[in-house]
Structure 1
């Protein structure tokens, strides 16, 4: 077979694959002193996917998201966003490229209203300056109006109208998590990272949150990377998943197939149980 006729086809296929990839991590490694948090991690997230990143506690999931978003850049490997190498880029610069995230622990501002917390998600689109403030009616006010219009639309999308003026510290956990997701969506990201968005929720609250994540993908065109311990959520809404254990990849692919992998079972419930 003539390899000269195959090579162009392979190049076209590789180019097409790259065009659909929002995120690509290549051989990522991150150490903290002598502790290897993640090593040799390869993953990619395609446009329009909901991708699950799972693993036992301490497996390196949050380290990976911190590497992607620039908080703790990898010491080895590279991270590409929409084909652009963003390895080591500062967090605010990553955010300006259309990446938003929520955190494992709630990062809302108590004493502020739901509306004001969500409005803070628009900071990457704001352009404060002395001159804009001095000329408020002509420059700052129109921008403020536009940002508030976006926030009002997000409040409607996330069904938070009834609590829009409430202080977030007075809300139950399920609503607080919804406000945090709303704040991330207010940035109008193309790529959204959710770090355990359903931790501590009851079954009804989890169902609501899963629906909002699906709607964000389907109605707003957001590609999602979700870290989650609830396997029913991962198998229910994720297109693909990757499993980490002690910082290394032990399984990747379609969720229902991955969770049946003996290595994944062993990592989650232990060797003695997995053998039974």
Structure 2
């Protein structure tokens, strides 16, 4: 069943400030993600995108501002507690476990749903085994969804980069998130691999009722997938709105190309 896009915010960040020593990485940033959309967070290197996501997910407490998830204040909540509220993420650099199979890497994503206990260990064949089988059913469903059946038993470090990225997305999806954060999921991919991942991202939103925040450098991907975008530069919001119009904003062009190149770009467009 497809989750309809609405104006109902599931994530609202207001006035987020974050500093590292004398460096102000985020300067009063406001971000609002609506239910059922693919929301783009873009900007040049060093603009504060990953820092903003780390604030959202509890890795960095903000120096000022507030984060709300589904109307509940989660500012400064520990990452594992944010995850238990239905948030999953992938990372800019692959965080897969080398030496482990594709299947075992994906199974790790079920950790937020696992409830270890001494009684379950004592009565393994009754309780723990039943729970393990339930987790494996979810994993097998996601393996089919992500079309990873043929490599399920392969060591993850011997498969191509594009497939490793797909495994990382699968590991996030087995957590059964309501809100999924993808940090540059297409980095290092060729065009065919990008098209595959783009399709899986759309299917995750449409078939699994997942709201998605996408950090991405490929502007063709942003315009093709995102419903709305916010652009950061030096820790500040410089533009937001519909993707094509926002990316064409002179302030965004200047942030990416520099003032002189942006002027040449404007002259060429004229």
TM-score band by shorter chain is: over 0.9
| Structure 2 residue runs without a partner (length 5+) | 1-5, 265-270
Distance in 1 separating the partners of 2:118 and 2:160? 39
1:245 alignment counterpart: 233
| Structure 1 residue runs without a partner (length 5+) | 1-15
1:140 alignment counterpart: 128
| Aligned-residue offset at 1:39 | 1.0
Alignment map for 1:86-235 (pairs within 5 Å): 86-235=74-223
Matched residue SS, 1:189:
coil
Find 1:76's aligned residue among 59, 64, 69.
64
Distance in 2 separating the partners of 1:131 and 1:58? 49
Distance in 2 separating the partners of 1:39 and 1:162? 47
The number of equivalent residue pairs is 259
Distance in 2 separating the partners of 1:38 and 1:230? 22
2:267 alignment counterpart: none
| Aligned-residue offset at 1:174 | 0.2
| Aligned-residue offset at 1:73 | 1.4
Matched residue SS, 2:109:
helix
1:30 alignment counterpart: 18
| Aligned-residue offset at 1:119 | 0.3
2:250 alignment counterpart: 262
Distance in 2 separating the partners of 1:73 and 1:53? 19
Distance in 2 separating the partners of 1:233 and 1:123? 31
Distance in 1 separating the partners of 2:91 and 2:248? 28
1:10 alignment counterpart: none
Distance in 2 separating the partners of 1:130 and 1:196? 40
2:3 alignment counterpart: none
| Aligned-residue offset at 1:43 | 1.1
| Aligned-residue offset at 1:273 | 1.1
Distance in 2 separating the partners of 1:233 and 1:106? 20
1:47 alignment counterpart: 35
Q: CA RMSD in A?
A: 0.8
- Structure showing the higher helix proportion among its residues: 1
Matched residue SS, 2:53:
helix
